C-alpha cells in the first residue's frame, strides 16, 4: 500500500482525491498536513487518517508517508514539489504543476537526483472515455483527423477564490485551458507547431478569464475556447474524413453529464455510443500512480509531458499579445 500524505486541506483533496485514495486497492492516506493544526486534525478525523501535522515540513520529514499529494495554490506547486522530492517522497501534484514550462526543468532535476516519481494530476488521462478516444483515432475509426474542437467554461467571480487571484496563479488558462490541450495531445500523440489566440483579462482581478485559440498540429487543426465568466459548458469533438467523435462530458464526468462518447459515421446516419458508468477516474489515477511507484510498467503523466503541455499554454499567452501565429 502506497502511504499518502495530503499537503493542505484544499477542496479538491477533501471532495475528490482523498476519497479516491481511500477507495484505491493499493494506496491509503496516512497523514494530512495544514498550516492550521486544528484543520489538519479535523480533516484527518473525518477520513479516519491516523496522523495530522500542523506544518508541511513536519509531514515531509515523517516516515509515516511514502508519497505526497499536493493541491496547494498553483504558485506554490514547484516549491513544494521540490521540497517533497528532496525529502524522498514521490509526488502527485495538481495541475498545472507549473506556470512556466522552463520551471519544470527544476522538477525534472529533483526527480532524477532523488529517484522518485513526480507526476502532474491529469485525471483525464486515466479515464476510460479518453483512452477509448485514443484507441478509436489510432484505429482510423474517423478516417483522417482534420479538426479538433473544444470548449470548457464556467462562471466564477468570487474575489476570494484562488482562480481569481493572480498572485496565486489564477486564471482560466492555468485552471481549465490545460484540459483541451492535454486531451488532444494525449489522444493524437501529436504536438502543436504554432498557435493564434485572443485572451481577455478581468479588469479587477487581472487574471485571464477568456481565451479563443487556434492551433496548427501539422496534420490537423484545433480550435477551442475557455472561460471563467461564461455559462457552464464542456465539449470536445474530433472530426475526420470518415466520421467524428464527440465526448459529451469530457473533463468533469458525472458532474456535467454522463461519461460517454458518440462515434458518428460520415453520412451521419449511424452512430455508436460508448458509456463508462462509474469509471472513477480519480481512483484510476491513484492506482496507476501507485503501480508506477512500485516499478510496474504503467503510463503516468511524465514531467516531460507536462513541460510540453505547458509550452502550449505559454505559447497561447504569447500569441495573445500579437497579431498572427506564434511558434510553440
List, by residue range, all CATH 3.30.360.10 domains of the chain: 124-283+309-327
For residue 201, the number of C-alpha atoms closer than 13 Å in the C-beta half-sphere is: 11
What is the pLDDT at residue 278?
A: 85
pLDDT digit of tens for each residue in the chain (328 aa)? 999 999 999 999 999 999 999 999 999 999 999 999 999 999 999 999 999 999 999 999 999 999 999 999 999 999 999 999 999 999 999 999 999 999 999 999 999 999 999 999 999 999 999 999 999 999 999 999 999 999 999 999 999 999 999 999 999 999 999 999 999 999 999 999 999 999 999 999 999 999 999 999 999 999 999 999 999 999 999 999 999 999 999 998 767 777 999 999 999 999 999 999 888 999 999 999 999 999 999 999 999 999 999 999 999 999 999 999 999 9
User: Over the stretch 214-227, which tens digit does the pLDDT of each residue have?
Assistant: 999 999 999 999 99
**Residue 248 annotated as catalytic:** no
> What's the distance, Cα to Cα, between the start and end of the chain in Å?
40
Distance CA 233, CA 214 (A): 19
What is the pLDDT at residue 130?
A: 97
Instruction: Enumerate residues 6+ apart whose C-beta is below 8 A from 320.
Output: 197, 198, 199, 208, 211
Distance CA 328, CA 326 (A): 6
Q: Which of 95, 132, 248, 307 is catalytic?
A: 95
**Residue 194, burial from CB neighbour count under 10 angstroms (0-12, 13-18, 19+):** middle
List, by residue range, all CATH 3.40.50.720 domains of the chain: 2-121
Sign of CA dihedral 80, 291, 308, 248: negative
Residue showing cell 481577455: 200
Evaluate whether 279 touches 253 at the Cβ level (below 8 Å): yes
User: Over the stretch 58-114, which tens digit does the pLDDT of each residue have?
Assistant: 999 999 999 999 999 999 999 999 999 999 999 999 999 999 999 999 999 999 999
What is the grid cell recorded at 237? 469533438
CATH for the stretch 2-121 = 3.40.50.720
What is the pLDDT at residue 256?
A: 73
The conformation of residue 75, written as its DSSP 8-state character, comes to G
CATH for the stretch 124-283+309-327 = 3.30.360.10
Instruction: Give pTM, 2 decimals.
Output: 0.96
Amino acid at each position: 500500500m502506497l502511504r499518502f500524505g495530503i499537503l493542505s486541506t484544499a477542496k479538491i483533496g477533501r471532495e475528490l482525491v482523498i476519497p479516491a485514495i481511500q477507495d484505491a486497492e493499493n494506496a491509503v492516506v496516512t497523514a494530512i498536513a495544514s498550516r492550521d493544526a486544528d484543520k489538519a486534525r479535523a480533516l484527518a478525523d473525518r477520513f479516519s487518517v491516523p496522523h495530522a501535522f500542523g506544518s508541511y515540513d513536519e509531514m515531509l520529514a515523517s516516515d509515516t508517508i511514502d508519497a505526497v499529494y499536493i493541491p496547494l495554490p498553483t504558485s506554490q506547486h514547484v516549491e513544494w514539489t521540490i521540497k517533497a522530492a528532496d525529502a524522498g517522497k514521490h509526488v502527485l501534484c495538481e495541475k498545472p504543476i507549473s506556470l512556466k514550462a522552463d520551471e519544470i526543468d527544476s522538477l525534472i532535476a529533483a526527480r532524477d537526483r532523488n529517484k522518485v516519481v513526480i507526476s502532474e494530476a491529469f485525471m483525464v488521462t486515466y479515464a476510460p472515455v479518453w483512452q477509448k478516444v485514443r484507441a478509436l483515432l489510432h484505429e482510423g475509426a474517423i478516417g483522417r483527423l482534420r479538426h479538433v474542437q473544444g470548449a470548457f467554461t464556467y462562471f466564477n467571480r468570487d474575489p476570494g477564490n484562488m482562480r481569481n487571484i493572480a498572485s496565486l496563479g489564477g486564471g482560466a488558462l492555468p485552471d481549465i485551458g490545460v484540459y483541451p490541450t492535454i486531451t488532444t495531445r494525449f489522444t493524437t500523440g501529436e504536438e502543436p507547431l504554432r498557435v493564434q489566440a485572443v485572451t481577455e483579462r478581468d479588469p479587477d482581478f487581472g487574471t485571464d478569464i477568456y481565451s479563443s485559440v487556434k492551433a496548427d498540429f501539422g496534420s490537423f487543426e484545433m480550435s477551442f475556447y475557455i472561460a471563467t465568466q461564461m455559462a457552464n459548458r464542456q465539449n470536445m469533438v474530433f472530426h475526420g474524413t470518415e466520421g467524428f467523435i464527440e465526448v459529451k462530458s469530457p473533463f468533469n464526468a458525472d458532474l456535467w453529464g454522463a461519461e460517454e462518447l458518440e462515434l458518428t459515421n460520415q453520412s451521419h446516419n449511424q452512430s455508436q455510443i460508448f458509456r463508462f458508468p462509474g469509471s472513477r477516474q480519480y481512483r484510476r489515477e491513484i492506482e496507476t500512480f501507485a503501480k508506477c511507484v512500485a516499478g510496474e510498467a504503467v503510463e503516468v503523466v511524465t514531467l516531460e509531458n507536462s513541460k510540453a503541455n505547458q509550452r502550449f499554454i505559454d505559447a497561447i499567452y504569447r500569441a495573445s499579445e500579437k497579431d498572427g501565429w506564434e511558434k510553440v
